[in-house]
Amino acid sequence: MSTFGKYRRITVREVLSGSQEGKELRLGGWVRTVRAGKEVIFLELNDGSCFASMQVVVASASPVAAVAEKLGTGACVEVAGKIVASPAAGQQWELEAKEIRLLGAADSSYPLQKKHHSLEFLRSIAHLRPRTNTFGAVFRVRSALAFAIHTFFQERGFLYVNTPIITANDCEGAGELFRVTTLDPLSPPHTESGSIDWEKDFFGERTGLTVSGQLQAELFATAFGSVYTFGPTFRAENSNTSRHIAEFWMVEPEMAFADLEADAELAEDFLRFLVGYALENCAEDLGFFDRRIEPGLLKRLEQLKNAGFQTMSYTEAVAALEKSREHFEFPVSWGMDLCSEHERWLTEKFVGGPVFVIDYPKDIKAFYMRQNDDGRTVAAMDLLVPRVGEIIGGSQREERPERLENRINELGIKNLPWYLDIRRWGTCPHAGFGLGFERLLMYITGMENIRDVIPFPRTPGNAKF
């Protein structure tokens, strides 16, 4: 039997593509089902390389049958045999087993026995759920789209920059930083006035986990023109919704020589590219989502490829919401931030597709957004899409040094002299946005809970696995 001495092994995906007809080979995988007939035993072998499993056929009379019969769902095996065209309907190829090597048995206490499991239950066994059909599909699509994100930007000349995870700045100003400290919680050092002396902490100042890589991406944009960062971001936001998690991945492009219009153009091209990429490269998995998770998904995604995205101002959006006969839990008025229910109504009922809402009141948006001439709004944009609501948030940045400094002082923000420096020397109109990777995955897979599109979700009260 094999010694596992080669990293390039044949996968079920390659076999099912039809390239291995008549070949003798070995396949490693996990048993999904065992069905014993009179003359043959059938095994469904899944190796995660694609949605479909490999049908393995074992002659009951062969010595291999003794091993096959005892296999339980979840067992790990390596099967050696020959790939032949399957005579039966349901699959094109099958593997005639000549040898089966049991690598890891699984008894009947294995939780993923062949029956329906709710997504809630599967969340409680997040260490095993990658071995299910649904999560196999989710995480293959996730991997493909991560690659697609790099492809999109690299093909367009954007520089990939790794922005820091530990930072002393709260980019969004919402006070949602997870603290990072090495001070002893029981006896931290104090200043003369009695407050905690952060200067004695590891970094010599108060630090936390980043909520966004934007500020540092901006620094790079004013050297490299077009850049992007794609990494984990953290928010100590105590909201238990199906669209928020405390650790999520964000893609943040930043472009010099660009205004809000260019920013929206990029966002639209980007989203269309990603949807097109998924349709082309993840067809088998998307087919499953269309059948089992969201009927009509494929049609919805196909439509996005051609649809134009609409744009409306925040002021127009509020007027439409006020005029609607809809009963909202939170009534709308100019100046308030839009809630999920308002966003969903705008994109699902009012527009019936993706919509950019732009020019928000400056008081509900972050300090770095460019002030509009009306004195009360900023050049912000949120892209709202059906089912998910806000998928992208971005803006043109304030490139005028005095305006920015005034706003920073007004809000009492400290620690940003370096950020102001790029306005002081060689400032440049620039714009960018952040796409929540998990929100994108919800949109493309139809999965309704954000906890089901990230391998190991972090939410208030839960950091297990």
- Give the binding site for ligand 4AD (CB under 6 A): 171-172, 212, 214, 235, 237, 244-245, 248, 250, 252, 390-395, 432-434, 436, 438-439, 450
Q: Give the C-alpha separation, 399 to 372, whole Å.
A: 12
Minimum CB separation from ligand 4AD for residue 415, in Å?
Answer: 16
Minimum CB separation from Mg ion for residue 128, in Å?
Answer: 34
Please, which of residues 388-407 interact with Mg ion by CB under 5 A?
393
438 binds, among Mg ion, ligand 4AD, none (CB under 5 to 8 A by kind): ligand 4AD
List, in order, residues 6 or more apart from 452 with CB less than 8 Å away: 119, 122, 123, 134, 135, 138
386 binds, among Mg ion, ligand 4AD, none (CB under 5 to 8 A by kind): none
Minimum CB separation from ligand 4AD for residue 435, in Å?
Answer: 6
Of the pair 74, 253, the CB lying nearest Mg ion is at 253
Minimum CB separation from Mg ion for residue 389, in Å?
Answer: 10
Strands (E), 289-372: 310-313, 355-361
Minimum CB separation from Mg ion for residue 390, in Å?
Answer: 6
What does DSSP assign to residue 53? P
244 binds, among Mg ion, ligand 4AD, none (CB under 5 to 8 A by kind): ligand 4AD
Residue nearest to Mg ion (CB): 393
Of the pair 57, 217, the CB lying nearest Mg ion is at 217
DSSP-H helix ranges across 88-179: 119-124, 133-155
392 binds, among ligand 4AD, Mg ion, none (CB under 5 to 8 A by kind): ligand 4AD
Q: Name the token pair of 242.
A: 């199906």
Closest CA to 220 of 138, 137, 163: 163
214 binds, among ligand 4AD, Mg ion, none (CB under 5 to 8 A by kind): ligand 4AD
Of the pair 32, 458, the CB lying nearest ligand 4AD is at 458
For residues 442-451, b (16+ Cβ closer than 10 Å) or e, as one string?
Answer: bbbbbbbebb
Minimum CB separation from ligand 4AD for residue 365, in Å?
Answer: 9
Cα torsion at 34, 38, 39, 43 (round to 10°)? -10
Long-range contacts of 280-285 (CB under 8 A, 24+ apart): 281/144, 281/148, 282/140, 282/141, 282/144, 284/50, 284/51, 284/52, 285/51, 285/136, 285/137, 285/140, 285/141, 285/445
Query: Where along the sequence are the contacts to Mg ion (CB under 5 A)?
Result: 393
